[in-house]
Amino acid sequence: MFQSFDVTARPDQGPPRLQALRAELDREALDGFLVPRADAHQGEYVAPRDDRLAWLTGFTGSAGFCAALSHVAGVFIDGRYRTQVKQQVADVYTPVPWPEVQLHDWLKDQLPDGGRVGFDPWLHATGQIADLRRKLDGSGIMLVDCENLVDRIWEDQPAPPAERVIAHPEAYAGESAADKCGRLAKGLREAGQEAALITLPDSIMWLLNIRGSDIPRNPVAHGFAILHSDARVDLFMDPSKLEGLADHLGAGVTVHPPAGFLNAVGALNGAVAVDRDSLPQIVAETLGDRLQPTGDPCALPKACKNAAEIEGSAAAHLRDGAAVVELLAWLDDQAPGSITEIDVVKQLETLRRRDDRLRDISFDTISGTGANGAVIHYRVTVETDTVLQDGDLLVLDSGGQYLDGTTDITRTIAIGAPGAEERAAFTRVLQGMIAISRLRWPQGLAGRDIEAIGRMPLWLAGQDFNHGLGHGVGAYLSVHEGPQRLSRASAVPLQPGMILSNEPGYYREGAFGIRIENLIVAQKAPALPGGDAERDMLDWRTLTFVPIDRRLIDADMLSREERDWLNAYHAQVAQKIRPMISPAAQAWLDVATAAI
């Protein structure tokens, strides 16, 4: 249930595995094979059986892919993993910075005379394949549907997950599954669509008010669903996972073995709504011209939390905040040089376990000190476990999966006396976080329209960070939830009820890392005193209440408004969290939340 600390996934097996894959290329008369991180459901996180990219290359990040050709094998990674990939992949693999280098351009450079590149049509979304084929047009490079070649050579590949599914109470969901199906089915009828295909596990969980455990840290179960315009649902999931749920699912849901999904898709007659970014290519080929790429009908309703989900998340964050405060008080009692990154993780998980509504952590805790903190998605292992030394910073990014909400919080903590450079960078990161927290904006703007505000203090100093400013978060669902994001790439308008992270950072490779993260929920902004608003405005409600390390703040850099926000926030932390913690932690909290 909780985090393990295996030896680092080193790439010792990379060369022989790549050699075996290349033997399969020769057997199939292929010049290359694409190995994505994704599984057939296109989720960010995968079950051990589907972790083909890590098994082949040694790279364990949550995003990326490999293009293995007969003479070169590129591992494509974004800015979050530039440091990590250097540590994990074998010399036979070439890290490729993505999206700066696009796959089609790389393939054209590596295969100037053309060639045949294979891919598993279950593991690539139809939008990805269509876009790649269009960009390769005229190059002589062909994309070829084929059997998964990694599965052929992975002799001890784990079995598919088969964990039990549970009902998610309506008291937490805020709406019955029947009402959700009816509401979405009405939209299908109005659009003239016979059905919608739902392939993302968290969408199926949300729609039917169920939760699973097929994916570590994410309460989802693998399956596919067809939502019909009369509100019936065909659910394609291993029936053994659903034992005892017949009454909960009701007469409107019919369960089928997963193997019947393609045949059922082929039997649909009218227009079918799909999400091109998550629909497997093989399903799109089965649909043909009946496909209508209008998106996953669950995506926006799931993102816009109802009152029960918001209040459940707020309550979960308070209990989670109490556990984190107990951890921070404990941490300040430990002398520099006496504990390690793993010690911190174990203590935090012990404190979270006291809550009987906790079901799991929401992702593997990031506990990185010194240079490890500069690895954005660092995961401590037995090999990399590092002692917390005087003068270092600790980046602690963690969260919990509670029955009433999903949490995700990052605090950067000074171990001993921090340096002036670290304090200045930390204060700029804090200024960006405060700027987003204070923001009011016209309804209709998307994440791409406002995320620069959280970067501006760093930009003014010539600094930046290689990850989005914020991601969506589910309600006892995936800790990374779309479609909402605070990102240059997100055109989805922000709407009331959307929960997002607010997490600017700064990373000095080989030295230190900084990140501060609160979860916030969009809401209608109250009218300003004495003013007539010309437009409907939104603002944020903060969900996370844990002190921000005052030892790392250069107060002289803060404006009066920033100082007022921080003092008001810390006063709220003290008021909300103090009754929930031990006397020793209360004494620590009184100091940690003192005004500056």
Give the position of tokens 């509401």. Answer: 183
pLDDT band at residue 2 using 50, 70 and 90 as cut-offs: low
pLDDT band at residue 532 using 50, 70 and 90 as cut-offs: low
Give the separation between CA 536 and CA 533, rounded to whole angstroms. 7
Give the separation between CA 195 and CA 189, rounded to whole angstroms. 9
Question: Considering only 75-79, 109-113, 371-375, 563-567, which range has the smallest mean pLDDT?
Answer: 75-79
| Cβ atoms of residues 236 and 247 within 8 Å | no
| Cβ atoms of residues 201 and 217 within 8 Å | no
What would be the CATH architecture of the domain defined by 11-153?
Answer: 3-Layer(aba) Sandwich (3.40)
CATH superfamily of 304-592: Creatinase/methionine aminopeptidase superfamily (3.90.230.10)
- Please list the residues that pair with 414 across neighbouring strands: 393
pLDDT > 80? residue 6? no
Number of alpha helices (DSSP H) and beta strands (DSSP E) in the chain: 20, 28
pLDDT > 70? residue 533? no
Q: Which of 172, 229, 180 is nearest to 203 (CA)?
A: 180
pLDDT band at residue 477 using 50, 70 and 90 as cut-offs: very high
Give the separation between CA 371 and CA 510, rounded to whole angstroms. 5
| Cβ atoms of residues 36 and 74 within 8 Å | no
Same fold, 166-296 and 304-592: no
C-alpha triplet 69, 153, 155: angle, nearest 5°:
155
258-295 confidence digits (pLDDT tens): 999 999 999 999 999 999 999 999 999 999 999 999 99
Alpha carbon distances (Å) from 524 to 280, 440, 449, 531, 542: 37, 9, 18, 16, 13
Higher pLDDT, 115 or 1: 115
291-344 confidence digits (pLDDT tens): 999 999 999 999 999 999 999 999 999 999 999 999 999 999 999 999 999 999
| Cβ atoms of residues 92 and 58 within 8 Å | no
Q: Which residues contact 286 (CB under 8 A, 6 or more apart)?
A: 262, 265, 266
Give the separation between CA 555 and CA 557, rounded to whole angstroms. 5
Give the separation between CA 54 and CA 56, rounded to whole angstroms. 6
How far, in whole angstroms, is CA 121 from its chain's centroid? 24
pLDDT band at residue 531 using 50, 70 and 90 as cut-offs: low
pLDDT > 50? residue 446? yes
Q: Which of 545, 557, 555 is nearest to 593 (CA)?
A: 545
> Which pairs from 289-293 meet CB under 8 Å and 24+ separation?
291/126, 292/191, 292/193, 293/127
**DSSP state for residue 551 in the 8-state scheme:** G
pLDDT > 50? residue 9? no
pLDDT band at residue 412 using 50, 70 and 90 as cut-offs: very high
| Cβ atoms of residues 452 and 460 within 8 Å | no
pLDDT > 50? residue 491? yes
Q: Which of 122, 119, 120, 121 is nearest to 258 (CA)?
A: 122
| Cβ atoms of residues 250 and 507 within 8 Å | no
56-107 confidence digits (pLDDT tens): 988 887 788 999 999 999 989 887 777 777 777 767 888 888 889 999 999 9
381-408 confidence digits (pLDDT tens): 999 999 999 999 999 999 999 999 999 9
Helix (H, G, I), strand (E, B) or coil at 87: helix
186-221 confidence digits (pLDDT tens): 999 999 999 999 999 999 999 999 999 999 899 999
**What was the pLDDT predicted at 416?**
93
pLDDT band at residue 8 using 50, 70 and 90 as cut-offs: very low
Alpha carbon distances (Å) from 292 to 188, 194, 225, 258, 540: 11, 11, 16, 23, 35
> Which pairs from 78-82 meet CB under 8 Å and 24+ separation?
78/466, 79/376, 79/466, 79/467, 80/376, 80/377, 80/466, 80/467, 81/376, 81/377, 82/466
The residue extents of the domains of the chain are 11-153, 166-296, 304-592
Q: If phi over 0 gives left and psi between -120 and 50 gives alpha, with beta otherwise, what is residue 518?
A: beta
**Percent of all residues in the chain with a pLDDT value above 90, rounded to a whole number:** 88
Q: What is the mean pLDDT of the chain?
A: 94
What DSSP letter does each residue of 348-389 carry, written as one string?
HHHHHTT-TTEEEESS--EEEEGGGGGSTT----TTT--B--
What would be the CATH architecture of the domain defined by 166-296?
Answer: 3-Layer(aba) Sandwich (3.40)
